[in-house]
Amino acid sequence: MNTPHKGLDITTAKSSRLDQVDFDNLVFGKYYADHMMICDYKDGAWQTPQIMPYGPMEMEPSSKVFHYGQAVFEGMKAFKDADDKVWLFRPEDNFNRINISSKRMAIPEFPKEYFFDALNTLLKLDSEWIKKGDGNSLYIRPFAIGTEYGVSASPSNEYKFIIICCPAKAYYSTPVKVLISDHYSRSADGGVGYAKAAGNYGASFYPTNLAKEKGYQQVIWTDANTHEYLEEAGTMNVFFRIGDKLITAPTSDRILDGVTRKSIIDLAKHEGIDVEVRRIKVGEIVEAAKNGTLKEIFGTGTAATIAQISGFEQDGTFYDLPEVENPYNVKLKKMLQDIQYNRAEDPFDWRYAVETK
């Protein structure tokens, strides 16, 4: 059935694929909800967004995204509370960031009304894909790609903005071990590190595979100029607890302005935890590990929420982190998730109610 709605064209799925999914044993990114949104950019304007059944789409082999990497994306989650109400977490931050990323990659910015109308409609249609319970969510992946065909090295004149959704559980179920990189870097000054550009992540896979061969799940990236400063952990922002102080690197044109990162900083300050946002030298963390003042390291991101790091290798030496009483990562994760699942007050006004009835 084709239905116009709030400036959207909607074609609903004939049947749901919910019964094909084992929600107790989810593999992240394997199953996708029944509907997706596609909006085309052509003739200098974004066209009417279309909601349609999730499925393959046809593209020219010469589409510029395949040749010049014009692609950006976001990661968001929808949560369902005990009363079956659906909530998004700071969605305006994600909307603003994908347009910041798009601008850096010469992709036209997407209209706010289209973005939120599409999100609300998708979540209403696929609300049964959002399961209640701690750790359960619907992961939302908005992305934009250059689709004009032709292999000339220039920005595309045509694009697709797409939103797909997949049910998710915790990304990391156990603490992870990491390798501090002393050769490879995630990004450089003047580059696209602050943008969620697809190529940032593709370029990280090879050094991450090298780390996995050594028994580590992720890499902590260092700066490209000297490899003296710690920046991000895998696809996450990273926090270090030395004594009772929480330290994280400042955002820059190399470091992503993570939504979870910002939230953890605000929650920690709200709890009276001393937070420092500053550059952190590898040597400082190694020295803290040696003298016993390094209490915790954890990564933050939409998919992972908070991922505890149990130890790290630097220059051939592995440093185990101690088990501490009342760890910050556990406390802050609970506070964050209590807001996301509508179990606690939201003094920051981060929750966004989705009308699904």
Residue 319's pLDDT is what?
A: 97
Residue 126's pLDDT is what?
A: 98
Residue 3 has pLDDT above 60, yes or no: no
Give the C-alpha separation, 202 to 206, whole Å.
8
Domain ranges, ordered by start, for the chain: 2-168, 176-340
Residue 316 has pLDDT above 60, yes or no: yes
Residue 4's pLDDT is what?
A: 40
With a CB cutoff of 8 Å and minimum separation 6, the contacts of 228 are 222, 281, 282, 283
| CB contact at 8 A, 307 and 298 | yes
Residue 5 has pLDDT above 50, yes or no: no
For the whole model, what pTM was predicted?
0.95
Q: Which CATH architecture has domain 2-168?
A: 2-Layer Sandwich (3.30)
Q: Summarize pLDDT for 254-285 with one digit per residue, the tens.
A: 999 999 999 999 999 999 999 999 999 999 99
Residue type, 160: K
Describe the chain by its helix, strand, coil percentages, rounded to 5.
25, 30, 40
The answer to whether domain 176-340 has CATH 3.20.10.10 is yes
Residue 1 has pLDDT above 70, yes or no: no
Across the chain, mean pLDDT equals: 95
Q: What is the mean pLDDT of residues 86-110?
A: 98
From the CA atom positions of the chain, what is the Rg in Å? 21
Relative orientation angle of helices 259-270 and 328-340, to the nearest 10 degrees: 110
Q: What is the mean pLDDT of residues 5-26?
A: 90
Q: Is 307 exposed, middle or buried (0-12, 13-18, 19+ CB in 10 A)?
A: buried
Confidence class of residue 6 from pLDDT cuts 50, 70 and 90?
Answer: low
Q: Summarize pLDDT for 195-254 with one digit per residue, the tens.
A: 999 999 999 999 999 999 999 999 999 999 999 999 999 989 999 999 999 999 999 999
